[in-house]
Amino acid sequence: MRHECVVIADGPGALVELCGISILERLLRTLQRCVVKRAIVLSSTPKLISDALAQPSWPRVEIDLRVYHRCGESVTIEEIINVWPEATQLLLIVRGDSVFDNRLLRHLLTQDSSAALVDSSVPVEFESLVVSAPNTNAGKLCGAALLRYDWTLEQSSSFDSAVRGGLEKRIITPVDVAQRPFYDPALRRKLRPFWFPAPSASNTKFAETILLDSAQKGSLDFPALIHAPIEKFLISHLCKTSITPHQLTIAWIVLAFATTILFALGHLVWGIVLALIVGILDGLDGKQARIKVETSRSGKLEHRFDSLFEVAWPSALAYHFYTTGQLPTAFIYLSILLLAEALDGIGKAGIYSTSEKLMNEPGRFDRFVRLLGGRRNIYVWVLTVAIISGAPAKALIIMAWWEALTAAIDLPHAAWSLHLLRRKRSC
């Protein structure tokens, strides 16, 4: 993996704001997550760029930034050579006025020879966004290339012209966006890797829609499908505020603890109201982190709390139903539910880890089980129906057997998925 790069960034294009941050800021945050440690910024508007980068930003704090002045409209190869880091044979050159899916930059950085991102088959709906990108014999030039020093030293034209010429002579390998896998393991769904230059004012809303869509995970349960458009609407506004993913995480955790207390004390209606709010808030922190490229290792702690409340909420309900005499066998059903949850966790881990390793989207059956399988969001609705029906204690019985059925389906399927993975590896 390469750890240094040159960013060609000029105002105002690089400073166009999308979903709360500038295109240049988004790129630098993405580069940090691609393990780039040093970025040399070449700019014809160095003061404008320097002022923008002077503002503190923890999501890119690990990148050593240097801003250098350049002349003219187009950056020349000579200007790139002048700032080329010593002892670096392959260097990433990327336009700071373009948005890139992190999967594209990660893949480009793994190449062992000169390569450039191209798109040979731009979808019709994206054509208006990329119309300004240069054309090559391999497709649209996306604005990112990995160049070898000795070859670059022999060039004397502009950056774009040199890359086009290298592609035509087959000295530079085209890395075609259209040929990259669409399945994104992090999102558990297919999403065509995206890229586009700074959009015009009329295209800004469309560009933001693409980014908002890229923050949505796939393989959702039924309640999450209903939450998704609500979350998207809220994130489209929250991303333009200073609210951080950590603050959203703290908010839903506090409300989830309050929900646990309400369930234990028998205030089921108010508990359900808070549980429904938690269901939406629980999805917002991850979306905010992805849309603003603020993902961090500490963000993974949220999953620990998810697991905690998968246990805490039914345990609080079991305590209430047992102490009030509504369900004397409450803890037996709780035990069934928790054991089934543990087994189901093993099954789901096997199914999704196999999908990631095979770079395949989970099949229709997997998605169907995920849609209706036992899960906290589903059980909130089960409890709601039980309360409306006047038999809240029966909710725990239904939850226990629902979870047991889910585990009974997931475990054999996970074993079969792992068998297919081993067979593919042996071929």
The percent of residues above 90 in pLDDT, for the chain, comes to: 74
Q: Picking from 9-13, 71-75, 326-330, 362-366, which range would have the lowest pLDDT averaged per residue?
A: 362-366
CA distance 282 to 376: 11
pLDDT of residue 427: 61
pLDDT of residue 301: 74
pLDDT of residue 256: 96
CA distance 50 to 158: 24
Q: Picking from 102-106, 154-158, 193-197, 411-415, which range would have the lowest pLDDT averaged per residue?
A: 411-415
Which residue from 242, 208, 232 is spatially nearest to 16, judged by alpha carbons? 208
Global confidence as pTM: 0.88
* pLDDT digits 0-9 by tens, 364-381: 766 777 777 788 889 999
The answer on pLDDT for 350 being more than 80 is no
pLDDT of residue 375: 84
Residue 236 binned pLDDT confidence (cut-offs 50, 70, 90) = very high
Q: What is the mean pLDDT of residues 318-337?
A: 96
pLDDT of residue 362: 64
The percent of residues above 70 in pLDDT, for the chain, comes to: 92
Q: What is the mean pLDDT of residues 287-301?
A: 85
pLDDT of residue 409: 84
Ranges of each domain in the chain:
4-197, 219-426
pLDDT of residue 36: 95
pLDDT of residue 115: 97
Average pLDDT over the chain, rounded to an integer = 90
* pLDDT digits 0-9 by tens, 139-191: 999 999 999 999 999 998 999 999 999 999 999 999 999 999 998 888 888 89
Q: Picking from 21-30, 298-307, 335-344, 402-411, which range would have the lowest pLDDT averaged per residue?
A: 298-307
At residue 53's C-alpha, the angle toward residues 108 and 119, to 5°, is 25
The answer on pLDDT for 336 being more than 90 is yes
Q: Which CATH number fits domain 4-197: 3.40.50.1100, 1.10.10.10, 3.90.550.10, 2.40.240.10?
A: 3.90.550.10
Which residue from 370, 338, 337 is spatially nearest to 351, judged by alpha carbons? 370
Helix (H, G, I), strand (E, B) or coil at 62: coil
The answer on pLDDT for 312 being more than 80 is yes
pLDDT of residue 4: 94
Beta strand 4-8 with 38-43: parallel, antiparallel or unpaired?
Answer: parallel
Q: Which CATH number fits domain 219-426: 1.10.10.10, 1.10.3720.10, 3.60.40.10, 1.20.120.1760?
A: 1.20.120.1760
The answer on pLDDT for 401 being more than 80 is yes
Higher pLDDT, 294 or 373: 294
Q: What is the mean pLDDT of residues 395-414?
A: 88
Residue 261 binned pLDDT confidence (cut-offs 50, 70, 90) = very high
Spatial neighbors of 320 by CB under 8 A, at least 6 apart, are 263, 264, 265, 266, 268, 326
Q: What is the mean pLDDT of residues 214-234?
A: 86
pLDDT of residue 229: 92
Amino acid at residue number 348: K
Q: Tell me whether the omega of the peptide bond preceding residue 12 falls within 30 degrees of 0, making it cis.
A: yes
Q: What is the mean pLDDT of residues 383-389?
A: 94
CA distance 420 to 353: 12
Residue 355 binned pLDDT confidence (cut-offs 50, 70, 90) = low
Higher pLDDT, 402 or 353: 402
* pLDDT digits 0-9 by tens, 68-126: 999 888 899 999 999 999 889 999 999 999 999 999 999 999 999 999 999 999 999 99
Contact of 173 with 113, CB cutoff 8 Å: yes
Q: What is the mean pLDDT of residues 352-366?
A: 59
CA distance 371 to 19: 29
